[in-house]
Amino acid sequence: MITVEKLTKTFTLHNQEAAVIPVIEGAGFSVAPGECVALTGESGAGKSTVMRILYGNYLAQGGVVRIGDVDITQAEPREILRLRRETLGYVSQFLRVVPRVPTLDVVSEPLLNVGWSEADAKARASDLLERLRIPERLWSLSPTTFSGGEQQRVNIARGFAHRYPALLLDEPTASLDATNRETVLSLIEEAKAGGTAIVGIFHDLDARSRVADREVDVSAFTPKAA
Amino acid sequence: MTDQAYNFAYLDEQTKRMIRRAILKGVAVPGYQVPFASREMPMPYGWGTGGVQVSAACLTPDDTLKVIDQGADDTTNAVSIRKFFEKTAEVAVTEKTSEASVIQTRHRIPEEPLTEDQILVYQVPIPEPLRFLEPSEVETRKMHSLEEYGLMYVKLYEDISRHGEIATAYAYPVKVEDRYVMDPSPIPKFDNPKMESAALQLFGAGREQRIYAVPPYTKVVSLDFEDHPFDPSKAPHPCALCGAEDSYLDEVITDDRGGRMFVCSDTDFCAGRRAAGFTGEMTNTRPAPVDTEAMA
Amino acid sequence: MTPLLNVRDLTKAYGGRIGCADVSFSLYPGEVLGIVGESGSGKSTLLNCLAGHLPPDTGEVIFDTRADGPRDVLQMSEPERRMLGRTDWAFVHQNPRDGLRMRVSAGGNVGERLMAVGARHYGEIREQALDWLDRVEIAGERVDDRPAAFSGGMQQRLQIARNLVTGPRLIFMDEPTGGLDVSVQARLLDLLRGLVRQMGLSAIVVTHDLAVVRLLADRLMVMKDGHVIETGLTDQVLDDPQAPYTQLLVSSVLQV
């Protein structure tokens, strides 16, 4: 489902004397449907960078990143948009939404984008919010005013609303209590069982060992002469 | 200065030819506003300078002229324009609609149906019907040329939303021959149906320098909505002097205690009916024609 | 899929000075394209050339018309272009005063485009006006009020209703949230996002506010000195800018 070959990424800082910083060189791995691959490596090794390239958020300088039948590094913006709408989900650590939009709408939006009816989308969103223990009285409020843990759970509900065939998880269990952590892990297991290919970053070692089938050490791709 | 010091009908021949060319163009394109080089006239703008120039360009020595203001022949405006042409063109004048060959009018169409031998000349203050909502002349001309008349309906919409009905009671916009939207001059909407006439109708706006025309038997439709159709209604009274039920009425305040009466605004029409023996409820108490000059 | 709008080599000069030069891009149905750049970068010139308000010197603006398929808007006759301007196209001005008739009621403002395309039933026009006021969150009881009595945010929402009532497919927006309070901006952005999704609208949004494009635009075009210097997915351009100027632009945004 996800294939990465010979991936290269550099940052060129034009406003700092055009400094060129290579961050990834020759990265390669693949993820099958129903499989969960954990990216490992110390801080700064480039785990988040790889995730962002997979999502099309960062441009790769070389290599191939295939999600389904689309090569992200070559795709037109609208192909990536369609991929993000239908195929590729991303749960980041940070919630980025329009202020003042009610939580329920935030969570159901990805479903509306793939053609669900308003009622069905809201029902599914309600289920997820309930499972993640967001009190119902908060559903009509914007999540921008929520605590960090609540925002994180809203973000997860949004990420899991549509059953994407491929899913990127950036620290999904960070800042969650034991009960909610358990819920998120079971959501991940359900997604895997449903055939979703998952790439994740887990600092939570127990969580990693429970859901990840394989580990890919990103430091292997860090350019040595940096 | 002797009367012979004036060229016939005051304007010089070249100017009258220029105006006639504008009139012919207006006749050829019914409802279209033709620009013309309006001249200074020996009367102020707003007193009918546009109509006077059109009349001057139409008059021949054999014509008989009638001038009405708000339907009356004997108001200041009507009297002075009539005298102006008596002096400068030495044409015959009349107060009888049926005897006139050229009728210059301000704010009315005579009640008596006009014939193919007559020309009705309107005095127009603001010829552009779209002016109310669109201040740019460049833009309104473009809207006319492209037949973009949505804005005209916005005006009617505003009327209904504010008053529950189309409250425009005079200068009610019309569409001429399914093409140009035209301002009929400030005639009451009651007169709008009379614009489908056997007579040639010419419109002159002196200050705005525009001439336009409705040729005989041209289709003239008052704009409206399907659910708010055009209604040429008038005050629901008979004339107090001649009893006419179907003529346009002026309301006359008769005292300072709320007393009032409704009389025909077309004085010639009313006088004709009374001469034929028709009477109204006030005929005996006040037989003389109403002094409309006081209302002007 | 046929692009809704296909722009090729659009150039406009003001005398010797470049307004915009060699701009090419495609916009697909349902896409929102953001155009950013500082004042004088040519983004407004470009928008006005696209929307038919300014004649470009060279280039093509090919729009996929409902009736005849793709056609070069610049080659259309003026009546055709104006008809497009009040049916399939919409233009939201930065200043609502430029896009509204201030002396006409809210209902009349919304109804104008309907009447312009031949609606002649007062009751139906008013019903649609009320429906649209509701969709842009203006109370129905304000339908007969003039926009002058509205707040800036309401005026802008009224302008949007007035533009969308004929179900256009392409909407041009010039700094749609400029001059509004931050809280009002958020509401407007949310409204626009919802309408874009519900109606399948395509939009071209010119702004200098990077936060606005991040929330509203799928794709981004960065302009400088009349030229397009970078394009791509909005979040990619903002998070991993490639061109020196874009990097400067992004790094210059004040963090809250």
What 3-state class would DSSP assign to B120? strand
Could you tell me the strand order of the sheet in which A62-67 lies? A19-31, A2-13, A62-67, A70-71
- Nearest Cα neighbor of B156 from B180, B136, B175, B176 is B175
Whole-Å CA distances, B216 to A43, B110, B213: 91, 16, 10
Q: What does the pLDDT read at residue C187?
A: 80
| Rounded Cα–Cα distance for residues C200 and C179 (Å) | 27
Q: B interface toward C at CB cutoff 8 Å?
A: 133, 142, 146, 148, 150-151, 153-154, 157-158, 160-162, 225-228
Tell me how close the Cα of A174 comes to any Cα of chain C, in angstroms.
23
Q: What does the pLDDT read at residue C255?
A: 63
Determine the residue among A17, A21, A98, A114 to mutate to test chain C binding: the one whose Cβ has the most chain C Cβ atoms within 10 Å. A98
- Does C126 touch chain B if contact means CB atoms closer than 8 Å? yes
Could you tell me the strand order of the sheet in which C170-174 lies? C89-92, C170-174, C202-206, C32-36, C219-224, C227-233
Neighbours of B254 (CB within 10 A): 14
What mean pLDDT is reported for chain C? 92
State the pLDDT confidence band at B4, using cuts at 50, 70 and 90.
low
Q: What does the pLDDT read at residue C89?
A: 95
User: Are A1 and A33 spatial neighbours (Cβ–Cβ below 8 Å)?
Assistant: yes
Q: What does the pLDDT read at residue A191?
A: 94
Tell me how close the Cα of C198 comes to any Cα of chain A, in angstroms.
9
| pTM summary value | 0.84
| Rounded Cα–Cα distance for residues A32 and B86 (Å) | 105
List, in sequence order, the alpha helices (H) in chain A.
Answer: 47-55, 77-86, 103-113, 118-131, 148-161, 178-193, 205-211
| HSE toward the beta carbon, residue A102, CA cutoff 13 A | 13
Chains C and A lie in contact, requiring 3 or more CB pairs less than 8 Å apart: yes
What 3-state class would DSSP assign to B11? coil
Domains plus CATH for chain C? 1-88+178-256 (3.40.50.300), 98-167 (no CATH)
Evaluate if residue B289 carries a pLDDT over 80: no
Tell me how close the Cα of A53 comes to any Cα of chain C, in angstroms.
9
Chains C and B lie in contact, requiring 3 or more CB pairs less than 8 Å apart: yes
Looking at beta carbons, which residues of chain B come within 8 Å of C117? 150
What 3-state class would DSSP assign to C13? strand
- Nearest Cα neighbor of A186 from A128, A225, A146, A139 is A128
pLDDT tens digits, B209-218: 999 999 999 9
Looking at beta carbons, which residues of chain B come within 8 Å of C114? 150
Neighbours of B93 (CB within 10 A): 17
Q: What does the pLDDT read at residue C193?
A: 84
pLDDT tens digits, B101-145: 999 999 999 999 999 999 999 999 999 999 888 889 999 999 999
- Does C228 touch chain B if contact means CB atoms closer than 8 Å? no
Searching chain A, which residue's CA lies closest to the CA of residue C199? A113
CA A46 to chain centre: 15
Q: What does the pLDDT read at residue C239?
A: 92
First-to-last alpha carbon distance for chain B, in angstroms, is 31
What mean pLDDT comes out for the span B35-55? 94
Looking at beta carbons, which residues of chain C come within 8 Å of A57? 233, 235-236, 239-240
| Rounded Cα–Cα distance for residues C71 and C186 (Å) | 36
User: Are C217 and C32 spatial neighbours (Cβ–Cβ below 8 Å)?
Assistant: yes
Cβ contact, residue pair C104, B226, below 8 Å = no
Apex B11 CA angle, B10 and B16, nearest 5: 140
pLDDT tens digits, C119-148: 999 999 999 999 999 999 999 999 999 999
Looking at beta carbons, which residues of chain C come within 8 Å of A85? none
pLDDT tens digits, C195-233: 888 888 999 999 988 988 988 899 999 999 999 999 999
- Does C189 touch chain A if contact means CB atoms closer than 8 Å? yes
Q: Which long-range contacts (CB under 8 A, 24 or more apart) does C209-212 make?
A: C209/C175, C209/C177, C209/C178, C210/C36, C210/C238, C210/C249, C210/C250, C210/C253, C211/C253, C212/C34, C212/C176, C212/C177, C212/C185
- Does C248 touch chain A if contact means CB atoms closer than 8 Å? yes
Per-residue pLDDT of chain A (226 residues; tens, 9 = 90+): 899 999 999 999 888 888 898 899 989 999 999 999 999 988 888 899 999 999 999 999 999 999 998 999 999 998 999 999 999 999 987 777 777 789 999 999 999 989 899 999 999 999 999 999 999 999 999 998 898 889 999 999 999 999 999 999 999 888 888 999 999 999 999 999 999 999 999 988 999 999 999 999 988 888 875 4
Q: Determine how β-strand B174-176 pairs with β-strand B34-35.
A: unpaired
Looking at beta carbons, which residues of chain A come within 8 Å of C221? none
| Rounded Cα–Cα distance for residues B201 and C125 (Å) | 35
Output the CATH code of domain A31-59+76-215. 3.40.50.300
| Region of B24 on the Ramachandran plot (φ > 0 left; ψ -120 to 50 alpha; else beta) | alpha
Cβ contact, residue pair A78, C247, below 8 Å = no
Evaluate if residue B288 carries a pLDDT over 90: no
